Amino acid sequence: MIGLIIVLCLLAFYLKHLFNEAYDRQENFPPGPVRLPVYGGYWILLAKAFNDLGRATMRLAKEYNTKIVGLYLGPLPQVLVNDSELIKEVLIREEFDGRVDTVLGRARCYWKKLGIFFTDGFFWHTQRRFSLRYMRDFGFGRRCENLEDAIQHDVKEMIDMVKNGPKNDIEKKIVNGDLIYLPHFFDVPFINGMLHVFVNTTLPRDKYPMLWNLGKNSLIFQRSSNDLGGALVITPWLRNILPNYSGFNDLTSGTKALYDFYGDLIRNAMDTFDETHERHFIDMYIKKMKEEMKEKQRTTYSVEQLQMICTDYTFPAASATEMVLTMIIERMLIQPEIQEKVHEEIDRVVGRDRLPTLDDRDKMPYTEACLRECMRFDTLVPLGVPHRALSDTKLGGYTIAENTSVSVNLMNLNLDVKVWGDPQNFRPERYIANGKVQASLDKSLSFGAGRRLCAGETFARQGMFLVFAIFMQAFHVSTADGKPLKDRAKRIQGIITSIPEFWVRVSSRS
């Protein structure tokens, strides 16, 4: 009897502890769900929309009637910002420029804090500044005729693969008769474009299978952080008992493909390095690294960091840009009138006797607007990459403690009726005024803002326009089975939003 009483007392004490912890919140912390055992409010977030955390966040904000939701991911405070103006404020304020140090960031580079995406402070600032300064010499972040020529060449090769047939069984996995496999049909020009930036050369057609493998693994990485990615952050030991289900294996294997690929390129560059003749960006980085090592000063430069710089900048080029073009094609299969308008504009401005160039971009507002509307309509990164408060601060009247994780709900911004009027309609014309695309009409922040603005914005926008315009000049697209497409494919939520791979039929317009 005494033993039973003791057990009941201990149980009561434990339940009281759980109750107190569930409602224990930092002073003036934004309203939000209670802290449940182990995963805190993450349980509730998943319950709102298991496969769509952006929409789940919107529902929580509505439920608590707040612009900012505060919850705990296990013991970690997390703030979810849903208001359009506050989203912009977070992105431009330097005190929110930090990154959260998690298993997701470290596992991809052998448990070190490297790269550009998931680093902050002096290390991030130094590496980002150097990389952007010297990558620019090879076309990253500006107009570059050589890079534009390289992208055009690769798109022509892919078009030739369709018109004249694949040369081997590997190519048949991407092009089969008049069917093309999306999104990987678009891998080559974007990944080769990044190679042009890093090593001032590209891979020829017989090496395209290497690029398709990188594109495939990049997409595996992007999909690794699904709804259970948050569980892996809160309880990193899941990687040991559920490596597949938690996404850990996809996270590491997807990264390894690019990391090892660039490792080989860097080793070759170091073996043939000549400090009197800088051939490309990797040479410039090696020279800087050797200079700092020679002076025996504390340095942020290393071979591993160079590998992660190349890997980080390539991931979006090897997956996100292709996915945007794939979603545009899907939209044209649902709304055929969009394809008709794109074809009309290309024929009127460019014709059929030459390829579209970046000089045509200002004269083709509808084609450019399709890209912008696609990134708004399907928010590529619904909650962005989480920021970290670098100091105690205020946001929207609430107290945000140092090291709090802060996520901005870009999906809410992109679906805000007050901003767009009719956000549920896919309408590229919303960006066009006086016959031109007006950047001021694009409130989507697809590439972020502030010091954390996506460094690849110019590369992505220019590349997507070129590839899309050249592709649409060459082809008319339709469904593989010839039946009208009535609705969108189910979205796959990971680091980016993606859709399942699929075949689409193309017919030549020449």
Alpha carbon of 348 to those of 73, 169, 273, 356, 363: distances in Å?
A: 54, 38, 49, 12, 10
How many residues would you count in the chain? 510
Residue 70 three-state SS: strand
Strand-pairing partners, residue 393, are 400
Q: Which amino acid is at 432?
A: I
The position carrying tokens 């959260």 is 100
370 is in an annotated binding site: no
Rounded to an integer, what distance in angstroms lies between the CA atom of residue 7 and that of residue 120? 48
Contact 80, 409 (CB under 8 A): yes
Q: Residue 404: left if φ>0, alpha if ψ -120 to 50, beta else—which one?
A: beta
Cis bond upstream, residue 382 (ω within 30): no
Q: What is the distance between the alpha carbons of residues 22 and 47, in angstroms, rounded to a whole number?
A: 17
Q: Which residue matches tokens 């434990």? A: 14
By CB atoms closer than 10 A (0-12, 13-18, 19+), residue 505 is: middle
CB 449 within 8 A of CB 408: no
Q: Which two tokens stand for residue 443?
A: 């409130």
Can you say which residues are annotated as belonging to the binding site?
454
Can you say which residues are annotated as belonging to the binding site for heme?
454
